[in-house]
């Protein structure tokens, strides 16, 4: 049996087929497919099996009619749609082996324990560079996500509950055919005390933050917006300026040919310049985004990680998430373009921009609402 060297540097038996079982991997291979029935499930109700000679989908008898009619597997290059009983989930593995013509131990997968070779990291690396169609879909989702956040905050009036703001944002995204794996809304003292001030039904009177990761057709974007009752306090404005400088440094490092380690080193140095050494330890810092809300997430200290050496390339999407204690945070989703620049996809009209921001014109500012 020949050996196969995967991206983790380990030798494995050469796989004779590939089975994709998770929502992200299935959506990537299928060019977007019907949304998962259980939005929290790690294993989808649609699997994809590929060999050198064929490709097929597997689903339950419950979903087969809908997938056949509304996705049309043959039109997407899948020769067959196999069905298994919903009450015998182990039959998915049997069906995959039958399609591939090989036992499960000879098949690679996106991490499903029934198959012999875990190719999940290699699959992640393959899907980092989005195709032109995927970039267009990501950009459209970014507009819808930004609009949902911004409209929800623009309607806020001091004293309204955080849950009501959150509900508006979720409703707008659902109406756009998207959902929200992450949705955080909080304000005032809870915002300054917690990096994740989850909505609890508390009234918000002075300052509110809304954070979303929106998902549609397998793709994800992330964004954060703030609104204030009147002009922002100068001390908070200064704190926010320090966070924007950190974001600017890590975005400037996201150029084709650089590595994600280079970007993380820039992030680390920017926290130092902001006066908080190793400030990244206090919160998740984000990273590449696409068919997962973060395709991988590592810290500046993880120099031995495969992902630290991963090259940044055109078509990669990134969403960095710097923050500082006291309620200051920034986050948007950017695409690395073919010319090496960055384009922000989480933009929607009608939102104020940071003044005199020559390095990144139009970066979203804090919205001042009527009292």
Q: Is 369 left (phi over 0), alpha (psi -120 to 50) or beta?
A: beta
Identify the pLDDT of residue 190: 98
Q: Which of 127, 161, 179 is the last residue of a domain?
A: 127
Residue given tokens 């998740």 in the structure block: 284
* CA separation for the pair 59, 71 (Å, rounded): 13
* CA separation for the pair 3, 13 (Å, rounded): 5
Least confident of 71-80, 99-108, 146-155, 352-361: 352-361
Specify whether 286 is located in the same domain as 345: yes
Structure tokens at 329: 């945070």
Specify whether 142 is located in the same domain as 123: no
Give the confidence band of 2 by pLDDT, cuts at 50, 70, 90: very low
Instruction: Provide the residue count of the chain.
Output: 371
Is the confidence at residue 6, as pLDDT, over 70? no
Specify whether 303 is located in the same domain as 279: yes
* Long-range pairs of 79-87 with CB within 8 A, sequence gap ≥ 24: 79/54, 79/55, 80/54, 80/56, 81/56, 81/57, 82/56, 82/57, 82/58, 83/58, 83/59, 84/58, 84/59, 84/60, 85/60, 85/61, 86/60, 86/61, 86/62
Q: Assign 235 to helix, strand or coil.
A: helix
Phi (first) and psi of residue 349, to 5 degrees: -65, 160
Specify whether 97 is located in the same domain as 145: no
Q: Are strands 219-229 and 367-369 parallel, antiparallel or unpaired?
A: parallel
Domain boundaries, position 64 = 3-127
Give the confidence band of 371 by pLDDT, cuts at 50, 70, 90: low
Identify the pLDDT of residue 15: 84
Specify whether 138 is located in the same domain as 213: yes
Could you report the per-residue pLDDT of 222-240, keeping only the tens digit for each?
Answer: 999 999 999 999 999 999 9
pLDDT, mean over the chain: 93
CB 259 within 8 A of CB 92: no
Could you report the per-residue pLDDT of 97-129, keeping only the tens digit for each?
Answer: 999 999 999 999 999 999 999 999 999 999 999
Q: How many domains does the chain have?
A: 2
**How many Cβ atoms are within 10 Å of 79's Cβ, its own excluded?**
12
Q: Cα dist. 122→139, 153, 156, 287, 313 in Å?
A: 25, 40, 44, 17, 16
* CA separation for the pair 23, 8 (Å, rounded): 23
Specify whether 196 is located in the same domain as 251: yes
**Percent of the chain at pLDDT exceeding 70:** 94
Identify the pLDDT of residue 1: 30
Specify whether 122 is located in the same domain as 143: no
Specify whether 46 is located in the same domain as 173: no
Identify the pLDDT of residue 163: 98
Nearest to 17 by CA among 50, 41, 55: 50
Specify whether 28 is located in the same domain as 53: yes
| CATH code for the domain in which residue 107 is found | 3.40.350.10
Is the confidence at residue 4, as pLDDT, over 60? no
Specify whether 244 is located in the same domain as 274: yes
Q: Which of 74, 92, 127 is the last residue of a domain?
A: 127
**How many Cβ atoms are within 10 Å of 180's Cβ, its own excluded?**
19
Give the confidence band of 36 by pLDDT, cuts at 50, 70, 90: confident
| CATH code for the domain in which residue 277 is found | 3.90.230.10
Specify whether 260 is located in the same domain as 158: yes
Phi (first) and psi of residue 221, to 5 degrees: -135, 155
Q: Which of 127, 162, 183 is the last residue of a domain?
A: 127
Identify the pLDDT of residue 141: 98
Specify whether 169 is located in the same domain as 261: yes
* CA separation for the pair 147, 353 (Å, rounded): 15
CB 229 within 8 A of CB 205: yes
**Chain-centre distance for alpha carbon 263:** 18
Identify the pLDDT of residue 7: 54
Give the confidence band of 369 by pLDDT, cuts at 50, 70, 90: very high
Identify the pLDDT of residue 51: 96
Is the confidence at residue 359, as pLDDT, over 70? no
Nearest to 44 by CA among 55, 31, 60: 60
């Amino acid at each position: 049996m020949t050996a196969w060297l995967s991206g983790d540097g380990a030798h494995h038996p050469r796989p004779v087929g590939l089975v994709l079982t998770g929502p992200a991997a299935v959506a990537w291979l299928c060019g977007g497919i019907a949304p998962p029935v259980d939005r929290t499930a790690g294993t989808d109700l649609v699997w994809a099996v590929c060999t050198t000679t064929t490709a097929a989908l597997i689903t339950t008898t419950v979903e087969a009619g809908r997938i056949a009619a509304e996705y049309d597997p043959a039109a997407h290059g899948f020769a067959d749609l196999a069905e298994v009983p919903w009450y015998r989930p182990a039959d998915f593995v049997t069906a995959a082996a039958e399609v591939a013509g090989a036992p499960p131990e000879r098949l690679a997968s996106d991490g499903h324990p029934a198959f012999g070779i875990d190719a999940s990291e290699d699959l992640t690396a393959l899907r980092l560079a989005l195709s032109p169609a995927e970039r267009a879909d990501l950009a459209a989702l970014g507009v819808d996500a930004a609009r949902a956040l911004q409209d929800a905050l623009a309607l806020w009036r001091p004293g309204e509950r955080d849950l009501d703001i959150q509900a508006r944002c979720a409703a707008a995204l659902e109406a756009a055919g998207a959902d929200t794996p992450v949705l955080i809304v909080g304000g005032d003292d809870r915002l300054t005390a917690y990096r994740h001030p989850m909505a609890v039904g508390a009234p918000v009177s002075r300052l509110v933050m809304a954070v979303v990761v929106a998902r549609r057709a397998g793709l994800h974007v992330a964004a954060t917006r703030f609104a204030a009752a009147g002009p922002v306090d100068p001390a908070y404005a200064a704190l926010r300026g320090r966070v924007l400088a950190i974001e600017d440094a890590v975005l400037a490092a996201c150029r084709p040919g650089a590595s994600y380690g280079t970007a993380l080193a820039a992030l680390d140095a920017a926290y130092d310049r902001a006066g908080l050494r190793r400030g990244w330890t206090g919160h998740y810092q984000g990273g590449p985004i696409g068919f997962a809300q973060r395709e991988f997430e590592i810290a500046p200290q993880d120099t031995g990680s495969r992902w630290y050496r991963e090259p940044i390339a055109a078509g990669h999407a990134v969403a960095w998430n710097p923050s500082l204690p006291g309620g200051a945070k920034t986050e948007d989703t950017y695409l690395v373009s073919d010319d090496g620049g960055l384009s922000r996809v989480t933009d929607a009209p009608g939102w104020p921009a940071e003044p005199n921001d020559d390095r990144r014109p139009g970066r979203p500012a804090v919205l001042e609402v009527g009292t």
